[in-house]
Structure formats: structure tokens, C-alpha cells
Structure 1
Amino acid sequence: MRLKLVYAFIFLFFVVILSRVYYLSIKSNLYYEELAKQNSVKTYMIAPVRGMIYDTRGDLLAINELGFSISIKPYLHIRKKNRPILDDEIFSILQFFPDLNASEIKKTYQREDSYYNQDYIQVVDFISYDDMIKHYSNLNLRKNLKVEPQVKRKYPYNEVASHVIGYIGKANTQDISENPISKLTGHIGKSGIERYYNDVLQGEQGHREVRINALNKEIEELSFKSAYSNDLNLSIDIRLQQYLSEIFSDNAGVAIVVDVDDGSILAAGSFPEYNLNSFVEGISVAEWKELSNNPDHPFTNKMINGLYPPGSVVKMGVALSFLKSGLMGAASQITCEGFVELGGRNFRCWNRSGHGHMDLKHALQQSCDVYFYEGGLRVGIDRIAPVLSNLGFGSKTGVDLPSEFIGTVPSREWKMLRYKREWSAGETLNTSIGQGAFLVTPMQIARYTAQIATGKNVRLHFFKNNLDFNKSVEDDEIFNEFDKSFLPYIREGMYAVMNEPGGTAYRYFNNFPIQVAGKTGTAQVINFSQAEKKNIRESDLEYYSRSHTWITSYAPYKKPKYVVTVLLEHGGRSTTSAKVTADIYRKMMELGYIK
């Protein structure tokens, strides 16, 4: 019995040995064959050069400046005997570029140096072509250094159109996990067009596959695929864009100029602006604090992220709800005595003396609040809110900029959902004149004005050659024929605002070279936080408490072609919204947009 057990043990031992031999020689052959192939074939990924951005006339708005990067051979720190070589190489770099920081270069190298890294380690991201070319030969001859062509994003117009163009910045860990190409390029779009169209601008990576020997030397090239990227042509005209920056000067606010034929935006600015070039390689702490603490909020793209009460510029939309209800006509008269009494409270008109008898045209012309108070009570919020929503308030315009806000259209359902409270008649009065909880973005006001002017749906966009934006939207009209029958009455009132005595903008457009129709408005300032108050000098508190001023307009009156929407925060420091609007139209005539 014992002998049988010994034989059985010997048999099992040889079975195990033979199985292992079979696995190592046969089954794992493919694995080791693939492993050997990986050891002999190396793939280099080729980073694409970011596409450039042009304005509508072909002027460059974002370019790539040619320069060089410097990398150092690996294993010079982890192997103690090589550390003097590392110090020598760093010294050789500083010999030609003394402004570089030796300790930062060494830290960067140490962070990447390991036995698993066979690639040269980039220690200097960018040195301009002019600075490097004088020393290129000396550095390139050093066997432990590699000097390679590199590009750096540059914005020729600095701060002009900063909120439209946006900027690129260094890719962080999250960026790289979501966008592998950013690991190769080291950068990714952070805001504006640079971010919205990042996938288009960054393009596709290429690769180069080579065979190497045991000494890591290249023997032959097996395959090659070049990287590519795409340029963008925007609809903005940098000449008009620069003019917006000039006339806003020390004012804060927004200006948007739209071609209503296709929704292309000719110029758009959020002010104050900031220098885009400061963000490419990382902004200094001091500059960041200065911008962050600025009470005019230069970082906020107010075109799509600024939320403001629309004030009286929304009265065209409210008027449309009055007419659609059938409870009021264009000729319906309301007497303005300067206020409306409701629930023991007086809701006042801006003209405390009253406007007298008002019909729709003159209520728009003189921006009579009482007309809209009384009309709001007759028609009711349940008829007003749906019309305003249909005009695009409370939803994104779809303009090609990232992170657009939607704002708020107050309604019975909205209040119950948010506050669990019933609607009140006083809230209807506030909504009817664009105050209270009503919040819009300037981009929404620009689109809404274009729709009132043309009677068509208008899709706003900056990308000039994007077919998705330029295609017809006739199948997505916002006005039916019944709605369109009321638009002439509203346009007539907008014409009177600018061209007839008593109009709220008549002073600036009387005897103007072209006929402009529009609407002015005043929006109360939403209370700012205690943190913001700390950044405002006491002498400036009165200014920052002043109301914002709107004007939105279109021209020419009879054949609408362009919309100009202007918002001056706190009424402006050195000008008025109506004057800015008039100046913009004059500039457009000078540039040949309007004959």
C-alpha cells in the first residue's frame, strides 16, 4: 500500500512538472511574443498644434508663437553617480538663460525622473524663437539635452474680446482623464470659444512607430500618421470689437451686435475685460487677487452669466401678451396718474406726475409703468409668463459659449416650486415692468430684440462657418400668424422711443443718419454680498448702488438688419447706454455695415 502511495506521488509530481512545461512553452508563447514585440517596437505620440482663430475678415485672434522647449535625459538623479552631470546640464542652461530658476528646473526633473521613465524630461516649457536661436547649436550639441520646437498660445489683441475668445491653460488631472490629447499638448481650452470648440481646435493626435534595439536606438520607422487640427473663423469683426472696448473705457457692462439675417454676432463684449495672455502659462497670485477682488467682476462673462432684471426692455414682450389675450388692443387707453394702489401700497411710475392717457404706442415711447401695471392686472400672470417664456426668457439662447445661464421668468408655478407659496398680485405688477424676481442675460435680450424686429426665430452664434447654426430655422418659428399681426404695433412704439419727441432715447437719436427703433430700461441692482462690500471703497458705495441702464435696438427700422443691445452697470461712469448705442451705429456706418 505504501509503495502504491509513493508511485502515485511520483506520478502526480511529473504531471505537474509536465503541465508547467507545457504552459511555459506553448500557452504563454503568445504572451511573451507580444512582450518581446513591445520591447522592440516603440510608439511615439505626436501632439497636434492647436488651430488658430480668425475674425470674419481673416485677422488672427489666437495664434501659436514659435519657440523651443528644453528636456534633460532621464536617470541623472535617481543614480547618485549621475547627479553631478544633472547639475552640470542645469548650469549649462542657466549660462544662456540666467532668468530661469535653477531650483525649479531641478524640482521639475526630480518629480519625473524614475527607472520607469525612458523619455527625456521637459524642464523648460517655452523659450521664444528669438531668444533660443542664438544658443541653439551650443545646447543641442550636448548629448544629455534635447531642444525641441514648441508653440505657445498668444492672443494678439490682449484683452479685446476676452470673454468671447477665451483662453487655454495648463491641463490638470481631471482635464487629462476626460481628454487624453491634453496630456500630449499640456493645455486645454478653459473659457470662451477656446473651451466651447476645444475638440475642434485641438484636433487629433498623430503617431510614429519605430523599431528599436536593446540599446534603445531606432533601427527603422514602421508607420507614421501626422497630427492635425482645425482653424476657426468667427463672425466677429475685430475692428468693431476694438471700438466697443474703447467706448466702454472705464465703464462696466455688456454690448452685443447681431446680424439678424443669420444670427451671427459681429461684436460682443463683457466689460471690464482682462488680458488673455496672462493665463496661458499661469497667472501670478498678485494679478489673480487684483482681478478677483475687482467689484466690476472682470472674470464674469456678463453676456451669458450676468443675471439682471430686464426692466422696461421687456415691455415689448409683455405688450405682446396683452394683445394676444384679447383683453387689450393697441388703442386701449389707460390713464397714468403716477401710481397704482394695490393692497394698501402704491406702485409708482418712474414719472411721479403721471403720463396721462396712454395707448400701447405711447406707453412704450414714454415707458409708462402704470400702463403695464394696469395691463398686467387685467391680463394676469398666467397669460404673461407663457408669452415671455416663448420669447426665450428662462431658457438658454444656445449661443456657442460654455456654461450659459437661463435666468428666471416668474410665474405661479415657479413660485410654488421654489418657495412653496402662492402668487400675489403685486408680483404680477413687478413682472410686468421687468422687476422683482425676473432675471435675464444680455444675450437673451439681444435675441429677443432680433425676434421682435424680424418676426422670426434667430439663433445666435460666433462660429462663422458652422452649418448647424447657419441652416434655416423656419421649421422652428416662435411666432404664428396671429402673433405676427401684433408685431407692427410694438415696432411702432419702439420707433417712437428713438425718433419722436417724448421718446426716452429721442435726445440721442433725433436727426440720426439712420432710423433706429428700440427700447430703454432701468434695472434695480440686486443686493451685493458682504464679501463684495469689503472690496468696495466707501466712496464708491453710492455708485455701486445705482441702477443698471439698458437699451436694446435694431436698424434700419423698415428693413431690420442689425440689433445692438447695451447694458451699462450702475448707469455708467463716463457715458450713457443710449450714447454708447448711437456711437456703435455710427461706427457700423463708418465700417460700411449700414449705408
Structure 2
Amino acid sequence: MYKRRIKIFLGLVAVVFAVMIARLGYLQILRGDDYRLQAEEALQKYELLPARRGRILDRTGEFVLAQDEACTDLCLHYRFLTADEKWILAQQKRIRKQEHVSLDEAGKIYQDRARRTWRVVEEQARERGVDLPATIEEIVRRVERIRAGRDYDVREQNQEHPVICALDNETAVRLKPQLEGTIGLALRSTHKRVHPFGDLACHVIGMTGRVWAEDLEERNLTAADEPDWLERLRRNYQPWDTIGRRGVEAMCENVLRGVRGSRRLKRIGSGVQVLEEVPAQHGHDVHLTLDLRLQQEGVAQLQKGGYTGCVVILSVPLGEVLALVSVPTFDLNRYSQDYEILAEETLYLPLLHRAVGRRYSPGSTIKPLMALAGLGTGAISEHTTFTCQGSFDPRYPDRFRCWNRSGHGSEDLRAALRDSCDVYFYHVGQLLGLDKAAPWLDRFGYGDLPGTGLPDERAGLVPTVDWMRRHGRTAELRGEARLEGIGQGVIEATPLHVANGIATIARGGKFLSPVLVLEGAPPRVSRDLGINPSHLRAVREGMFQVVNEPGATAYKAFFGDGVERLPFKVCGKTGTAQVAPQRIDSDGNGRITVQDRIARTGDMLWFIGYAPAEDPKVAFAVVLEYVQEGGGGRNAAPIAREMLRLCHRLGYLD
């Protein structure tokens, strides 16, 4: 019995050894290469390579308006920032293994390294004026928003996050040796956005900013979109990435943004070996249609007069935006540091892109369009006359007045445009009514977004009877129609709307949506309005008289004493829009009411037109805010004159 048990036991042992030998043979001979590869991969890691964002350049490509410069971010591990107990214990165990010490000693070493880490970070924060607690709080808040609704850890909890951004190369080199003896601290190569011209075209260029949780949710690829995890990592936004937030930076995000590269590394002793490298695909450049010389001159002209407002210049043949000036400006290089000051400036609103993002009452600049609407619908002919005695109805001299209280007498269409007679266009507005005028204004683009694709764009406001009814203003229909005839009342448009409307007249009734960028622009809208050539000729002749006939509203700006004559003829239209005073939130309740303090009063002054008169090459609009003395001919027209002089010198009128 005993010998039998021994035999059974030895047999079982032999079977076990046979199985083990077979398994070892299987692992080493048949699957050896696979497991060797897995072991090697365990010693490998991946490193992402930053992609440079594309540049933004002017129309010539000669001047760079925005570009990336290499820099370094100082980063802290999220688990270190949040003092995660499990992570800290794991670090202590790693230290125990590396240093061959007890766990208690490893804990002391960890605390010493943590103190060194905070010392390095706090020193850099002090030197750069960084609010470190606020920065850390924002990082934690951002990661928690990403993690919200999930019962598992997200990748961002196991990554380093930048706490001090955009260190220069000298500082990064100096800091690198200090990383020894720290924990959770890393230097990451990246780029920062710089703007060589500071505030020039700041509203057009726009800004970049940190990605938000919503960006990660909306824009990032999932495994269903892209199965390769490394490819997703290269293409997806990370919490420390930047994204276009305003202006062309936002509009052309998909063109400007690049794709990260990657590097596969293998740990060999204390060093690493590069096994494979996929280079970064840098973002593409974007060329604006702007001419920086015109942009600079527009800013200088407005600032010289102490005005807030804007200047728009368009190429008539191509519809390209040559200048899109908004004043006041701000320095893009200091946007982050100055943001609170800029955002709290509620009087002059430096962050507002007036040319596309602020709607104004167009005033008398609407009259050429209302004239074409009246002619096109048959409400008037080019020979229709109305008598102006200073008001629409002489029995009520203080209602629907003309700017000329003495009256203009009997005027036909051309004379009414030349003299900017309000009474004439009260009649045109009333004959048309809101519902006949609206389709014409919409065909000129007033009811739509201007069309450049800039995120700041606002659509114009063109009232209809239905709009008035929905807003409880049906009792005002006849009066509103009269006011619309002179560009007052409900109707509003941005300066780009107004400039493009005049460009449409200048190119013979063909509407083109304006183009601002040569790469990444939205599809253009083009339509022939089918305007009768004789109607266009009558309106253009009236606009010619505005500038070139003695006594007309813009004559002195171009032919007055001491004015250097232009070597070409200009067609134009002055405008003075009466507006409510600008109030600021003086009681701090977050609303603007009639109880709040009046900050600025005055009129919105316009001068619009095109040149040369006989063969239009550029169209323009100048608007000045809250001017208390003089009209558009006295204040805005001289600015347009000097802009046209520069256009001629630069060859845009050839």
C-alpha cells in the first residue's frame, strides 16, 4: 500500500513537471517572441511632440500679425496638486525601492521633495505675478468638470498640468537642474502666441485661450471615431491646450491648429532610446485681405481726432476687406494680464469689435438704398418731387422735422440725396411702408450677418409689420416707416453692412459678401439684384453731387479752403444719426436703465461712398460715436478723404 502511494505521488509529480516543462516550452519556443515584445513594450513610453499653430499674415504675406514662439510650461502632476493619498503612497513605495530605505524614511524623503517642488513653483509664480492658488483652483475645477458624471478616473487626473506658462528658454535651462530632488514637477515644451504689431487689427485677429471642458466634449474624437488611441491622443485637445476664442483665431481654428507628433521611447538603464518618431504636423498659415498700412492709418485718423468708432474699406471688384478698424484698441500681447481692466471698461468698450459687432442707426446713409427701393417698387420715379418746408407736415413743425429747419423747397431725387433732405425721404419711407422696404434692404444684406465669418458678427435689424406686431408697436407703423426712410427708428446695421451696401451700388447692383481671409473663409454669397441701370445712375449722380457740388453736405471736406485736392472724383453720402445717451451701470445692478448715469451724449456721424466715381475700385464707411458738434460732412468725411488719399498712393484706385 505504501509503495503504491509513493508511485502515485511520484506519478503526479512527474505529470506536474511535464506540464510545467510543456508550458515553459510553449512560452519560450512558441510564444517567446510575443512575450519578449510585451516585456519590451512595458519598458517603453510615448512622448507627445507639440505642433506649432499657423501664422496669421496680412494680404501681402510680408507682415506677420500672429505667430507661435517656442517656450516651456512648468507643470505639476494633478495627483500632487490634490494631495491624493494613494498617489503619495505609491510615490513613497517607489522611493523606498529606489533608495533601499524603510517606508517611514521614504515618507520623509517624499515630504522633503514636495517642499522643494513648492519652493521652485512659488518662486516662479512670484517672479511672474501668477496667482498660484487661483491657478490651481482653476485646474482642479476644470478636471472635475471633465470627470463630472463618471464613476471612474479620467486621463486628466494622471497628467501634469501647467501652473506657470510660457517660460523663456533661458529660464527653462536654469530650472532644469532644479527638477532633481523634486516630485510631480515637469517642464513641457510648448508654444505661446505673440503679436508683433501689438494692438493693430486686434479685433480682427482675435485671441486664443485655454480649452474648456465643453471643448473637450464637443471636439475630441472618441474610440468610435478613431480606434487608434495614439492617433486620438495626437489629434485631441488636452486640458492645457489653447484654442481660438475670438476673431480669425476662432474662425480659422481648423486651419491654424496643427496635429501633435509622437515619439516612442525605450528605457535602457538610466537612459532612453528613441524607437520611432512621428513628426508634428504644424498648422497652416492664414492670410488676411487687410492692408496693414490702411489699417494703421485708420487707427491714426480716429485717434488723432479723439474719436471712438470705426473705418471700413472694401475692394469693389473683389469684395475683399482692405481695412476693418475699430477704436479703441488693445494690445493682444497683454490681453491676459489686462483682461479684467478691459472687461470692466464699460464706457469706451475696447473689446467691442464695432465694425462687425455693433449695430448703429444708419442715419442718412440709408437714403441711397431707400431711393433704389422706391424706384424699384414704383413708389417714386427719379423725377418725383416733394416740397420741404422744414418738416413733413408744416402744421406740426416739431414732428418729423428736416435737419434744415428752413426747408429745401421742391426737390427731386438727385437734389434730395445731395442735400440729404429728410422730408423727401419721410415721403419715400411712407410710400414704401416697412414691408416693401424690408425685401430691398435684405437683398443688400442688411438682414443677415455681414458674411466674413467672424464670430463677433451681428445681423442687422430690418423691421417688418410682423416684427412691429410681435413687439407691441403696431400703433407706430406709419411713423416708423417715415423714420426708416432717414435711417432712424428701429432699423440698425453694422458699419460693414453699410459699406457693403454702397459697394453693391458701386459695382452696378451685384451683391458680394465681403471676404476677410484667403484660407478658411465661409462660402461666399453672390447675387445680382437686377436693379434698373437708370435707377442706379440717378442714385450715383446724387451721391456725386454730395461731394462735388458747392453747398452740398460733403463739399467742404473735399474742396474747402486749405484742403489738398484728391486727383480723382468721389461719390459719397453723409449721415447724422440721433441716438439716446450712453449710460453706464452706475448703481451696479447689472442692468442699464434710465436711472443710471449718462456717460456720453451726441450723435453717430457717418460718411460713406466709393471712388473713383467713374470706375469704382473701393467703397468705404466711417462712423464716429457720440460727437456733439458738427455732422458727418464736417467730422467723418475728412477721415474718409485721407484714407482715400492713401488708397490712391498704394495703387488701389488704379
TM-score for both structures, normalised by structure 1 = 0.82
Aligned to 1:156: 196
Q: How does 1:60-75 map to 2 (within 5 A)?
A: 60-71=64-75
Q: Which residue of 2 aligns with 1:228?
A: 282
Q: Which of 1 and 2 has greater Rg?
A: 2
Q: In the alignment, is residue 85 of structure 1 matched against residue 95 of structure 2?
A: no
How many Å separate the matches in 2 of 1:505 and 1:545?
24
Change (3 A) 1:383 1:94: closer
Q: How does 1:270-285 map to 2 (within 5 A)?
A: 270-279=326-335, 282-283=336-337
Matched position secondary structure for 2:318: coil
Q: Write out per-residue CA displacement over residues 213-258 of structure 1, whole angstroms, 9 at most, x where no aligned residue.
A: 9x99866635635332111111111122111111111311111111
1:310 aligns with 2:362: yes
The structure-2 alpha-carbon separation of the partners of 1:123 and 1:343, relative to structure 1 and needing over 3 Å to count, comes to same
CA deviations on 1:522-562 (whole Å, 9 max, x unpaired) are 112245456169899xxx98882211001111111111111
Identical aligned residues as a percent: 28
Instruction: Output the CA distance in 2 between the equivalents of 1:528 and 1:362.
Output: 34
Amino acid corresponding to residue 352 of structure 1 in structure 2: R
> How far apart, CA to CA, are the structure 2 residues paired with 1:420 and 1:95?
63
Cα-to-partner distance string for 1:86-134 (whole Å, 9 max, x where unaligned): 222444567789715799389849969x99866555443221234445x
Contact 1:319–1:490, Cα closer than 8 Å, also in 2: yes
Give how far 1:362 is off. 0.8
2:207 matched to which residue of 1? Answer: 167
**Are residue 176 (structure 1) and residue 230 (structure 2) matched?**
no
Q: Is 1:464 aligned with 2:518?
A: yes
Alignment partner, residue 336 of structure 1:
388
Aligned partner of 2:150 in structure 1 is: none
Q: Deviations over 1:39-97 (max 9, x none)?
A: 66644444421111111122010022232233467877625431211222444567789
Q: What letter corresponds to residue 262 of structure 1 in structure 2?
A: L
Question: Per the alignment, in what secondary structure is the counterpart of residue 620 of structure 2?
Answer: strand
The change in CA–CA distance for 1:403 and 1:142 in structure 2 (over 3 A counts) is same
More displaced 10-residue stretch of structure 1: 438-447 or 543-552: 543-552
Answer yes or no: is 1:582 the counterpart of 2:629. no
Alpha-carbon spacing, 1:205–1:143, altered in 2? closer, same or farther (3 Å)? same
- Aligned partners of 2:421 and 2:342: how far apart in 1? 42
8 A contact 2:75–2:186 mirrored in 1 = yes
Q: Does the CA-based 8 Å contact 2:59-2:287 persist in structure 1? A: yes
State how far apart, in whole Å, the 2-side matches of 1:349 and 1:75 are. Answer: 72
Bigger shift: residues 136-145 or 249-258? 136-145
- The residue number in structure 2 matching 1:53 is 56
- What is the TM-score of this pair, normalised by structure 2? 0.75
Task: Show the counterpart of 2:650.
Answer: 591
Could you tell which deviates more after superposition, 332-341 or 418-427?
418-427
Q: Deviations over 1:4-29 (max 9, x none)?
A: xxxxxxxxxxxxxxxxxxxxxxxxxx
C-alpha displacement at 1:203, in angstroms?
A: 2.4
User: 1:261 and 2:313 equivalent?
Assistant: no
Structure 2 equivalent of residue 251 of structure 1: 307
Q: Which amino acid aligns with 1:88?
A: R
Separation in 1, partners of 2:75, 2:200:
35
For residue 441 of structure 2, what is the aligned residue in structure 1?
388
Per mean C-alpha deviation after superposition, the further-off stretch among 203-212 and 455-464 is 203-212
SS of 2:606's equivalent?
strand
Correspondence 1:13-24 to 2 at 5 A = none
> Per the alignment, do residues 495 and 403 of structure 1 end up closer, same or farther by CA in structure 2, a change over 3 Å counting?
same
Note if 1:478 corresponds to 2:520. Answer: no
1:524 aligns with 2:573: no
**For structure 1, which segment, 81-90 or 414-423, has the greater mean C-alpha deviation from structure 2 after superposition?**
414-423
Indicate the residue corresponding to 1:425 in structure 2: 478
**In structure 1, what is the equivalent of residue 557 of structure 2?**
508
CA RMSD in angstroms comes to 3.8
Q: Count matched residues.
A: 550
Alignment correspondent of 2:18: none
Q: Distance in 2 between matches of 1:432 and 1:366?
A: 15
Cα displacement string for residues 334-366 of structure 1 (whole angstroms, at most 9, x for unaligned residues): 111111129967311000000011111110011
1:177-208 Cα deviation digits (max 9, x unpaired) = 23344426521111110111112111233334
Contact map agreement 1:517 1:554 (CA 8 A) in 2: yes
- Structure 2 letter corresponding to 1:524: Q
Give the SS at the match of 1:364: helix
Output the amino acid matched with 2:604.
H
Counterpart residue number, 1:355: 408
1: distance between equivalents of 2:161 and 2:243?
21
Which consecutive residues of structure 2, in runs of 5 or more, have no partner in the other structure? 1-34, 93-106, 144-152, 221-235, 560-564
CA deviation after TM superposition for structure 1 residue 262, in Å: 1.3
